[in-house]
Structure 1
Amino acid sequence: MTSTAPADSGPAARNRWQALVQRFPLITFFTLANGISWLAWLPYVLSLDGFGVLHFRYPDLLMGNQLTAILPGAYLGPLTAAFTVTAITEGGEGLRRWRRRLFQFRAGVLWYAFALFAVPVAVLLGTLAASDGQGFQVPSLMVLALYVPMLVLQFFTTGLAEEPGWRDFALSRLQQRHQPMIATFVLGVLWIIWHLPLFLTPWGGPDVTAETIVRFAVLAMEMSFLITLVYNKGRQSLPLVMLLHCSINNFQSVAFSEFFPGANEQLLWGPVLGLGVLALVVIVLTKGRLGYTDTRVRAVATAG
């Protein structure tokens, strides 16, 4: 994982630290993203919400205590890592390009429709198949009333905290060095590892087992392939990627239990089935390219 930019495209290193970052930008990013987030989450893990070593709880706000306990670490890790490495390897101009990409909304209408509806539909169909339709019910109008506001909230919390780092910074650079399938798999594994400390908290659910973690890992990997497709085909629109990311979070947290109120452990594999089929279809239809083209890669390299 060496620098993805030409050797003369960034500022000259002033010390060994900057030279190391310029030589290994991706390794630096992953190390900082994990280290900063995990350090920020440590009090949460040790609090009464986790191991109970520290005798306090994080206050609840809208989404339980995710906004107060998890979001600070989620923001600090990937965003700080991407900002730091970009500043060192590409300087002020690189940061300006990065900032402009945060507001790149131009993408086809169909890709916005895909980001909004593909994941919920796949989750529903997969769970219906896994349950033979048993336990399904039409949710109340209250769920529909909450869905859009919570989607907006997820967009500016989970989506904004993670995707400028994981996809805009890391994925674009990994794809310049590796085939899209390999780049997506590597990033997916590292993305899963980043989440692992949260399974020591209520975020992972009331009864976390090995099956819980495996199920999350498979689901996250499937989402990684879908996100790569949307990133590549949607003109690398970061808001589009953020929308796709938060669509799975929002549907699972707001709507899933309303569609399947009696969901058991076996039924929770339904979303994995649905997204797995969708990801497989994407891989087959794109012949493993996931929307990646040489022209697009050259454009990314030119843009930094």
Structure 2
Amino acid sequence: MAQIAAPKRIPSYALFVFVAVTFAITWGIVAIYIVAPDWSSARFGEITGSHPFFFLATWAPAISAFGLVLIYGGTAGLKGFLSRLFLWRIPSPWILLIAVGLPAIYMLGSLAKGGPLLAPLPPEGVSAMIALTFMMLFLGPIEEFGWRGVAQPILQRHVAPLWAGMIIGTIWGIWHLPAFFLSGTVFATWNFLPFFIGNITLAVLVTPIFNASRGSLLWPMLFHWQLIFPIWPDAQPYDTWLYLAVTVVVVWWNRETMLHRTGAVTEVIPGEQGADQ
């Protein structure tokens, strides 16, 4: 019986290509609306959170990731890459953090600023909230094909998981920057500095979840979905500081795995060959 060759390892320098393509797509789309707002709105419609261009800009990390996987691994490599969606085994404390801990942070942060436990229902009612919730599943979580799918494993070949998370969080935050200049999106009403700190914090917090699940894409996606669940109340900036406190505790508790590369996931495509270290 012929032996099936292992997929080719995506080289570390491909990370620069991933970042460049991701920024080119997102910043290129947003630049049109910043530089020529009247022309672009008249030609393509005002950009909002449900505009096709907004989805395309949000999906840029995934588009870049799929392109790299196909170039180096072909369709077989893509199949292996997507198999990481089905890595569901993970220690139960991480499930509790995602299912209970993250919502609790938003609720406590909202209470700290005198807000409600849950976000108010839209005028259209419960059905609109449910529809928005599922729409969000196809926004932020799709980014994880890039951030945790490609960037995290490649960075962990060279630096400890803590530093990999901080690097990704920094890139992630800067990548979002142009959205703060778009009046039709939620970012326009936010302060960038707490958001930027929050991006770094969240990228670090999801790192031990990623490694504990052996490189799963499922759990980072569910983690990301919780971050943008429309039912959770607006808790800025208190949610940022609460996340920071929780992340410090999580990093300290998992310092053996967060500060050393031993056991860190380094494969983009499971079973990929090569020793690009």
Please state which band the TM-score falls in when normalised by the shorter chain.
0.7 to 0.9
- State the distance in 2 between where 1:293 and 1:302 align: 18
Match of 2:14 among 25, 32, 37: 25
How far apart are 1:88 and its partner, in Å?
2.7
* 2:56 aligned with 1:94: no
- State the distance in 2 between where 1:84 and 1:300 align: 13
Contact 1:124 1:274 in 2 (8 A): no
How far apart are 1:192 and its partner, in Å?
1.1
How far apart are 1:205 and its partner, in Å?
4.3
- State the distance in 2 between where 1:67 and 1:292 align: 42
How far apart are 1:193 and its partner, in Å?
1.4
Aligned to 1:15: none
Q: Which amino acid aligns with 2:198?
A: L
Structure 2's unaligned 5+ residue stretches are: 1-5, 273-277
* 2:252 aligned with 1:269: no
* 2:262 aligned with 1:294: yes
Aligned to 1:156: 138
- State the distance in 1 between where 2:51 and 2:39 align: 21
Contact 1:46 1:53 in 2 (8 A): no
Please give the root-mean-square deviation of Cα atoms over the aligned residues, in Å: 3.3
- State the distance in 2 between where 1:88 and 1:108 align: 34
Contact 1:127 1:273 in 2 (8 A): no
SS in 2 for 1:303: coil
- State the distance in 1 between where 2:38 and 2:51 align: 20
* 2:35 aligned with 1:72: no
- State the distance in 1 between where 2:248 and 2:81 align: 31
1:269-291 CA-to-partner distances (Å, cap 9, x unmatched) read: 21111111111111111116349
1:119-172 CA-to-partner distances (Å, cap 9, x unmatched) read: 22123224444x4xx444666688887666544332222212x00011111101
- State the distance in 2 between where 1:200 and 1:179 align: 34
- State the distance in 1 between where 2:195 and 2:215 align: 26
Aligned to 1:113: 96
Aligned to 1:54: 40
1:78-99 CA-to-partner distances (Å, cap 9, x unmatched) read: 1221122223333443222112
Q: Structure 1's 147 and 219: CA in aligned 2 closer, same or farther, altered over 3 A?
A: farther
Contact 1:219 1:275 in 2 (8 A): yes
Aligned to 1:10: 8
Aligned to 1:175: 156
How far apart are 1:53 and its partner, in Å?
4.4
Aligned to 2:209: 230
- State the distance in 1 between where 2:79 and 2:92 align: 27
Q: Structure 1's 128 and 181: CA in aligned 2 closer, same or farther, altered over 3 A?
A: same
How far apart are 1:9 and its partner, in Å?
6.0
- State the distance in 2 between where 1:174 and 1:124 align: 34
Aligned to 2:220: 241
Aligned to 2:3: none
Aligned to 1:197: 178
- State the distance in 1 between where 2:266 and 2:91 align: 21
Contact 2:201 2:247 in 1 (8 A): yes
Match of 1:284 among 230, 252, 258: 252
- State the distance in 2 between where 1:79 and 1:137 align: 33
Higher helix share: 1
Aligned to 1:261: none
1:182-232 CA-to-partner distances (Å, cap 9, x unmatched) read: 111111111111111111103254556xxx111110111111111112111
Aligned to 1:38: 27
Contact 2:62 2:145 in 1 (8 A): yes
SS in 2 for 1:93: helix
Q: Structure 1's 155 and 206: CA in aligned 2 closer, same or farther, altered over 3 A?
A: closer
Contact 2:85 2:218 in 1 (8 A): yes
Q: Structure 1's 188 and 155: CA in aligned 2 closer, same or farther, altered over 3 A?
A: same
How far apart are 1:24 and its partner, in Å?
1.6
Q: How many residues align?
A: 263
Structure 1's unaligned 5+ residue stretches are: 1-7, 12-20, 258-266
Contact 2:88 2:218 in 1 (8 A): yes
Identity percentage of aligned residues: 22
